[in-house]
Structure 1
Amino acid sequence: MRLKTGLLALLVTVTMAQANAPYTSLRPVAREDVFPVALPTFAPDRSLRPMLRPGSAYASARPAPKQPETVRRATSTRVGRVCGDRKIQGLEIGNVPGKLPGCGIRNAVKVYEVAGVKLSTPASMNCDTAKTFKSWVEGGMARAVRPMRSEVEELKIVAGYSCRTRNHKPGAKISEHGKGKAIDIAEFRFENGEVISLIDHWGSGRKGRVLRDLHKSACGPFGTVLGPESDRHHRDHFHFDTANHRGGAYCR
């Protein structure tokens, strides 16, 4: 009897508990309005590391790339008067060493223009030779080309300073080219467009006569004058140099 009474009481208690139970779970549920399901990232769009701004003290303190030495020299030099003569336009290039004994130039200049006449290729020489060259251009050359009825505008230069032996022969003496005392001319180009070329006009007509007068006019101002009739090495150009010869100038 006591057992039945206890079971009845337990059944009543369970039934009452189920009647009073909530409709939903009492476990807390995350509310999206308080704690969003997926929090947004707070990382910045770009790095917060400091960046150099143009003109900042640190940026300006960084050394600029070095300009090549050859470029600096080229931008700092200007063609102007050399050898103390405004009619000789060029560059002072200082002492030029030679690879062979006897070669080289002291206080050399690179000449671009003499007495208003351009050189097709700048020629390196010493000042004595540059001054002799200028005097001949103004005097003997100007007189010799009068039959052309036009002034010489440019000279075609085929050689200036060159450290070598005479006519490139092994064992021969050093050429005057190797001492900065010589210049070779192959053509005379005039303002009216005409050209006198040694290879084309020597011994031929009016231009040939002008070339002979040019050859003759250089003999005296220059110590050595060689032309097409001297040897096969000079058949296409004049060779002028300021070498001193015993007994006077050597002209062929």
Structure 2
Amino acid sequence: MSTRGNAPLDMAEDAAKPAETRPKPRPARAEVPAGQPSPRRPRARPAAATDQHTVVRVIRGPLARAALHAKPRPAHMDRLVKEQATVTEVVYAAKGSVCGIPSVKGQAISTIGRPGNGCGVSEPVKVTSVRGVALSSSATMDCGTAKALDRWVEQGLKPAIGSRGGGVKQIRVVAHYACRNRNNSKSGRLSEHAKGRAVDIAGITLRDGTHVSVLKGWGSKSWSQALKVMHKAACGPFGTVLGPNANAYHRDHFHFDTARYRSGSYCR
């Protein structure tokens, strides 16, 4: 018999090896039904386990540091932290805004009269709402007055009312641009209303339908404090602020104007 190399010897040695030293054959892979995951692979997590939502809360105040701890807090601590949670500021869309102020809505209109030489307003606007609070009727004014009204609503009116009655829904406007003299006199100086720099407010309406008037609320137990707070808050944004304590002409409304001849605020 012809042989090639040492093949017969190698075969003889393999045959002489004990059976237990030979590598055992790999077991046959079990049949897996179609659509089922392989038993050798880790199972996929359920969808609910991966669909997580991260909640971010911004806290200010002395409890801000405590709010970051992972340890459970007492119930009263949770309540205090919640009270100090920062309220997200409302972002107003630019659509429908005037004077470049997103929170002031209305319409730009053509120049009125002869600005600087009598009655008239340069680049006037008709304001319909401020900071989400509607005006009872559109008010014509210049942009400087619109800006002052925006500041007052945000920093004076809304804080003075707070959440009472669900908050402020509407401002009752009783005068804005009008070609007339001060206090509707037949003679004398032109009113700031004649220049588009003034707005008169007789009261507000809350979201639950409650009407708060300057005339009846100024001396009432329920609304006197709130009305006086919002009256005082107008001193700064506006140059002139008049109310029931000023004179008989203003017993039923607030007069706010942005008179250019004043260096500070005149408030009564």
Q: TM-score with structure 1 length normalisation?
A: 0.65
Contact 1:188 1:197 (C-alpha < 8 Å) held by counterparts: yes
1:85 matches 2:101 = yes
Q: How does 1:51-200 map to 2 (within 5 A)?
A: 80-97=96-113, 101-146=117-162, 148=164, 150-200=166-216
Cα displacement (A) at 1:149: 5.4
Gaps of at least 5 residues in structure 1 are 1-78
More strand by share: 1
Identity of aligned residues (%): 45
- Based on CA coordinates, which of the two structures has the bigger radius of gyration? 1
Contact 1:99 1:163 (C-alpha < 8 Å) held by counterparts: no
Cα displacement (A) at 1:202: 1.0
How many residues of Structure 1 are paired with residues of Structure 2 in the alignment?
174
- Cα 1:213–1:245 change in 2 (3 A) is farther
- Cα 1:147–1:204 change in 2 (3 A) is farther
SS at structure 2 position matched to 1:206: coil
SS at structure 1 position matched to 2:188: coil
Q: TM-score with structure 2 length normalisation?
A: 0.61
Contact 2:182 2:190 (C-alpha < 8 Å) held by counterparts: yes
SS at structure 2 position matched to 1:137: helix
- Cα 1:247–1:128 change in 2 (3 A) is closer
* Partner deviation per Cα, 1:10-34 (whole Å, 9 max, x = no partner): xxxxxxxxxxxxxxxxxxxxxxxxx
- Cα 1:191–1:240 change in 2 (3 A) is same
* Partner deviation per Cα, 1:55-102 (whole Å, 9 max, x = no partner): xxxxxxxxxxxxxxxxxxxxxxxx921111221111110201159952
Q: How does 1:188-227 map to 2 (within 5 A)?
A: 188-227=204-243
Cα displacement (A) at 1:146: 2.1
- Equivalent residue for 1:241? 257
Gaps of at least 5 residues in structure 2 are 1-94
Amino acid at match of 1:145: I
4+ residue segments displaced more than 3 Å: 98-101, 244-247
- Cα 1:114–1:203 change in 2 (3 A) is same
